[in-house]
Homo-oligomer: A and B are copies of this chain.
Amino acid sequence: MSTRAPASGEDRLIARHFRPLARHPGAFGLEDDAASITPPTGCDLVVTTDALVSGVHFFPDDPPDAVGSKSLRVNLSDLAAKGAQPLGFLLALALPDDFSENWLASFAEGLGADADAFNCPLLGGDTVRTTGPTTINISAFGAVKNGQMVRRAGAQPGDLVVVTGTIGDAAIGLLLRKDPGLRTRLGLSAGQLDELVGRYLRPQPRSAIAELLPRFVSAAMDVSDGLVGDLEKLCRVSNVAAEIQAEHLPLSDAARAALAAEPAVLETIITGGDDYEILATAASTNVGPLCKEASARGVAISVIGRVASGDGGVQVINPTGKPIGLRRRSFSHF
């Protein structure tokens, strides 16, 4: 008489969708209580966590592979901004009663593609039921040489403020998702719509330049809650202030077109969030080499302002030299 029980539904679900992602030997095929990783010798471990809730951080009808991709990328963006190389991640997934296997398969596919692309394997996880919306929580681990994690604290008066890529695309993309009539009012093409919404759906973590940051910058963070508010957070813990020149903000052609059609879009661009670009401060002598080496790695860096003495304040200056008034500074859940 065999008393071997069939694998539980939970075990089957994990085996089908997530075991293929668990290629790291320390993940033990997701068949253990925990995973084991050996950080490289001489390195500190950098750890970060981000939760995404359906209906709050993504739309229930967003493509599930993009949701899987974004869940990991927002964490990879944090690791990159700290100068850390990815080691792996844990996934905790709370699924509602009416979750579909198709949704899960596509979610796992998007997640797995990025786990491969960014060399950040799934190490373990937990899959549970919820009476609420799908909730995804990823904790990601990276390695950085001992004592080299790039902090938010460290900006010095006189440093320049720099940012990667372009700012505001994802926030405009979110507005376009919410308001289908907006594209026409902003005079955007279908291609520009796709581009902006694409930036919202699938951020681009700047992992390619993570290794440069400890060498060249005095402070850094990723822009998730809005450029102005996030720079304020950096300035506050660095005990400095900063000024940004609006005309120096790096904008995509699509964002530039939207701004030309509706000047109020500027506030969305600089406070809207979801950019997942790296915001950093660097001594002016370091900015040239940083931009050059980043460019060689395919990442554009723009100088947008300057650090000054102060107590955390950030001003955005328009081309006539006047500070721009803002109704809000950044996104907050509470």
Contact = CB atoms under 8 A, between A and B. Distances in A.
Interface of A: 1-5, 8-13, 26, 28, 31-39, 44-53, 55-57, 78-79, 81-82, 84, 90-94, 123-133, 135, 137, 139, 141-142, 144, 146, 149, 151-153, 221-222, 229, 232-233, 236-237, 241, 310-315, 323, 329-330, 332-334
19 contacts: A3-B313, A4-B236, A4-B312, A9-B333, A28-B153, A31-B153, A33-B78, A34-B47, A36-B44, A38-B45, A49-B90, A49-B124, A53-B94, A53-B131, A56-B129, A57-B128, A126-B137, A129-B334, A135-B135
8 closest Cβ pairs, A-B complex: A132-B132, A9-B334, A8-B332, A139-B139, A34-B48, A4-B313, A51-B92, A49-B90
B38 A44 contact: yes
Contacts of A314: 3, 5
A318 B9 CA distance: 29
A282 B253 CA distance: 66
Contact of A56 (B50, B128, B232, B333): B128
Contacts of A131: 53, 55-56, 132-133
Contacts of A142: 34
**Most chain B CB neighbours (cut-off 10 Å) among A81, A82, A312, A334:** A334
A45 B50 contact: no
Given A9-B334, A33-B48, 10 more contacts: A3-B315, A3-B323, A4-B310, A10-B332, A36-B144, A48-B124, A56-B130, A130-B133, A131-B133, A135-B135
B51 A128 contact: yes
Contacts of A52: 128
